[in-house]
Amino acid sequence: MIGKLFGGASPRQLGNRARDARRWAEAADHYRRHLETHPDDFAIWVQLGHMLTQLGDYAAADAAYASAATLDPRDADLLLCWGHSRKQAGIVIEHAICIVPVSS
């Protein structure tokens, strides 16, 4: 039904379009709708965190990044962006995650 209302585009696609147009709140709304039916979509949890950071809603961004971390806790881009969001929020990080490269 949502696809028919928006010319066949899914909430994820609509979120991406809104993000590309720098409409952060609209993108966040579409990403939330997408996550209702696709809660394991790591990339969209991260994108939601980005949108919320852009909006200055750091507590909600932190929660979105934490949800992404439950799916892939060692993703370097996630950790970098999450740390940047926390820095913008003025949150002091009490501990750091040490990632040791795995030799092949």
Least confident of 16-20, 36-40, 69-73, 91-95: 91-95
Any domain includes 17: yes
Range of the domain at 42: 2-89
CA distance 104 to 100: 13
More confident residue, 26 or 88: 26
pLDDT at 77 over 70: yes
Any domain includes 60: yes
Q: What DSSP line would sit under 75-90, residue for residue? A: -HHHHHHHHHHHHHHT
- Supply the CATH number for residue 17's domain: 1.25.40.10
* Ramachandran angles phi, psi of 43, nearest 5°: -60, -35
Any domain includes 101: no
Where does the chain have alpha helices with state H? 2-5, 11-20, 24-37, 42-55, 58-71, 76-89
Any domain includes 98: no
Percent of the residues in the chain that have a pLDDT greater than 90, as a whole number? 71
Structural domains counted in the chain: 1
Short-list 88, 44, 87, 42, CA closest to 96: 87
